[in-house]
Structure formats: C-alpha cells, structure tokens
C-alpha cells in the first residue's frame, strides 16, 4: 500500500513538473531560453542556434525585440533595390570651331562728326575751308572713313603769312600751283597719330609729293610742326578727333619747300642765303 502511494506521489510530482516547465524555462542547447531570444523566423521562445547567449542575435550582434503580436509570420526579406536612373548628360561640346559668319566691315560710327562738318559749324576756320574747297579736298574732309592727320591754321595764322608774302585768300585761290602746294602740305592721309604717339624729329608724309612735316616735341610745351627752313614753327593750340581724322589746330601756316620755291620764284620772299 505504501509502495503504491509512493508511486502515485512520484507520478504526481512528475506531472506537476512537466506542466510547470511550459511556463518556465525550456531547455535548448543546454541552457534556458527567454521569450526575447529568437533569430529569424524561429517560434517565440525557441532557439535554433543553441550556443548564443540568451536574448542576443547572432546575425547582427544586436538584441532582437519581440514583436507586439505573439504570432509572427516569416521575416520579410530586404526590399528590392530600385536602380537609380542617371539623368541624361548633355553631349560634350564639339571641338570643331563654329562656322564663321561673313565678315562685316565696321564703318565709322554714325555719331562721329567729320572734319568738314566740324570746321563748317565752328565758323572760325573760314579761310582754311575756302582754300580746301578751292583745292578740291572738301570730299576728303567729308568722308567719315578717311584716316588722316589734318593741320588747321587759325585765321590769325593766315593773316600773318598773307601779310608777309603779300597774299590774300582770293589771290591764293587763283594761283593753283601755290594753292595746291600750301593746302596739300596740311593733309597727311593714312596717318592718325595723336600727340602721345609723336616723337621728336619724326617726319610725316603729306599729300604734297615728297614733302614731309617735321615733328618737334619740346619739353613741357605742346607738340609743334615745321616745314621749310626760315619759316615759323607751328605750335599746337588744340587737338581734335573728328571721326578717323586727328586735327591739329596750329598758330602758324606750314610752308613746304615746294611752296617756298614758288614764293621765291614769284619774288614774294627772298631766296635763302
């Protein structure tokens, strides 16, 4: 009887131990497992690894927390990576030079004032304009594209030379040879040198054949110009830019060697010794 009772008590103890084990720790891998110990899609409370510390994740070494719901499906795999489409890049610039446009001639500015227009409007250079027109050079002064240096004596300069050689504007206009020799010597085509570009003893070709104007650059004084020996050096009173013409207003009339020879032949001046 006692033996049977002991067997019943042992069976009861074993039964109670089995039931209690379902609420306590389970053996797996030789250790107790907690509900927070799961890897991948293992059922809650189970451990398929068997050798990692309780509650650790052998995949990433970080503690995995149980989902709110006790029933979990398979762990979703990583989302597929959407390939990044690189935006179209602009084509590299061509190394070939662009097609050349037709060359366009750049004429003078429409706003520039020609030498003729300026001298006419000024009203001061009446004598000079009269002899220029008589010599047939008005069109040259009217051309805005004409490159030239123009030497313009003042009215007092003309008065001085006319008195010295017994001439007037009217008598000079009638003397075509002398007129041409004097007027042509006051125009230097194809040159447009400004004062800063002039150097001492520079010689400038003029419309008068083989007749050169000599440049003088005195220290501290305006640039001056000279012609034949024995005549006054003409000093610059003003410099004007008239389209492509650089005009020098002078205090004396320039007399070339050719004009001097004519005046000597006419007895208006004495021959140089």
Instruction: Name all domains of the chain by residue range, CATH numbers in brackets.
Output: 115-265 (2.30.180.10)
Give yes or no for a contact between 221 and 210, defined as CB atoms under 8 angstroms apart.
no
| 34/252: higher pLDDT | 252
Q: What is the pLDDT of residue 49?
A: 45
Is the pLDDT assigned to residue 81 strictly greater than 70? no
Confidence grade of residue 33 (pLDDT, cut at 50, 70, 90): very low
Q: What is the pLDDT of residue 145?
A: 97
Is the pLDDT assigned to residue 108 strictly greater than 90? no
Residues with Cβ within 8 Å of residue 179, at least 6 apart in sequence: 131, 134, 135, 172, 173
Residue whose tokens read 């610059």: 236
Tell me the average pLDDT across 214-220.
Answer: 95
Confidence grade of residue 255 (pLDDT, cut at 50, 70, 90): very high
* Cα 1 versus chain centre, distance: 120
Confidence grade of residue 268 (pLDDT, cut at 50, 70, 90): very high
Is the pLDDT assigned to residue 70 strictly greater than 50? no
Q: What is the pLDDT of residue 8?
A: 54
Is the pLDDT assigned to residue 127 strictly greater than 60? yes
Is the pLDDT assigned to residue 58 strictly greater than 80? no
Is the pLDDT assigned to residue 155 strictly greater than 80? yes
Task: Give the strand order in the sheet containing 212-216.
Answer: 187-189, 148-153, 245-250, 234-242, 224-226, 212-216, 203-205
Task: Report how far residue 21's alpha carbon sits from residue 13's, in angstroms, rounded to the nearest whole number.
Answer: 12
| 109/218: higher pLDDT | 218
Is the pLDDT assigned to residue 216 strictly greater than 80? yes
């Amino acid at each position: 009887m006692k033996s049977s009772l002991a067997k019943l008590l042992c069976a009861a103890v074993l039964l109670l131990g089995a039931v209690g084990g379902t609420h306590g720790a389970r053996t797996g891998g030789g250790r107790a497992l907690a509900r927070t110990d799961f890897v991948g899609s293992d059922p809650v409370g189970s451990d398929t690894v068997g050798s990692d510390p309780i509650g650790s994740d052998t995949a990433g070494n970080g503690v995995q927390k149980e989902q709110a719901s006790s029933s979990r499906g398979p762990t979703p795999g990583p989302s597929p990576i959407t390939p990044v489409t690189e935006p179209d890049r602009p084509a590299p610039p061509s190394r070939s030079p662009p097609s050349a446009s037709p060359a366009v001639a750049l004429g003078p500015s429409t706003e520039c004032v020609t030498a003729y227009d300026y001298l006419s409007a000024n009203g001061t250079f009446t004598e000079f304009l009269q002899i220029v027109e008589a010599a047939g050079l008005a069109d040259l002064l009217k051309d805005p594209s004409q490159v030239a240096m123009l030497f313009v004596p003042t009215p007092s300069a003309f008065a001085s030379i006319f008195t010295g050689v017994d001439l007037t504007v009217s008598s000079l206009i009638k003397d075509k040879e002398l007129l041409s020799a004097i007027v042509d010597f006051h125009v230097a085509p194809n040159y447009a040198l400004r004062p800063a570009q002039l150097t001492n003893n520079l010689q400038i070709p003029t419309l008068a054949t083989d007749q050169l104007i000599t440049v003088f650059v005195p220290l501290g004084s305006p640039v001056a110009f000279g012609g034949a020996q024995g005549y006054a050096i003409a000093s610059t009173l003003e410099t004007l830019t008239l389209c492509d013409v650089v005009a020098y207003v002078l205090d004396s009339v320039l007399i070339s060697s050719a004009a001097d020879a004519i005046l000597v032949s006419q007895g208006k001046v004495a021959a140089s010794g």
